Structure 1
Amino acid sequence: MATDYDAPRKTDDESSEESIEELKARRHDKNSGKVDEDETEAAESFELPGADLSNEELSVEVKPRQEDEFTCMSCFLVHHRSQLADEKNMICRDCV
């Protein structure tokens, strides 16, 4: 966008008056489209595709602990032995 540097500049009084009027107009425009709506009620009306999981069962296969794994006593996650920082307390590198 080209700027005409030779054009007369507005004074502070003029710019503040125009700014107040513009702000009033913007405030009125923003409030005119506002609707009081309960978010909970609106969310209950939406149904996501494939969201009905009432007949689903969770199937998990638990594998025994491997020789090269340990369970951190701080975060209780299973890590590889290379992540072991404190062998005495069985703490991983992330928790140290």
Structure 2
Amino acid sequence: MAIESAAPAVISEEDRAKEIAELKAGKTAEMANLIDESEASLAEEYVLPGGEAAQEEASVEILSEQADEFTCASCFMVRHRTQLVREENGQKFCSECEG
């Protein structure tokens, strides 16, 4: 029956440096030829939070302010006239900002 020792094997610094160099050289040569195509395509499709989505164009029609709308002087949102609470010196304020 073999008995394993928990004590580490004694290796000189030169031998250790040679082994590390060999391991690094072997891994880089092997890994340089390995490219996982599925991971590459997945990385291209992944969008980080706050990042831009795909190269799709959104078609949005922008309308000017309508007759029954106003722009709040506090939040600068275009609101319906039913949300108008206060008008002062030509500036209009919505119910959310004045609430």
For the criterion TM > 0.5, the same-fold answer is: no
The interval holding the TM-score normalised by the smaller chain is 0.3 to 0.5
Larger proportion of helix? 2
Whichever of the two has the greater Rg, that structure is: 2
Please, what TM-score do these two structures have when normalized by structure 2? 0.41
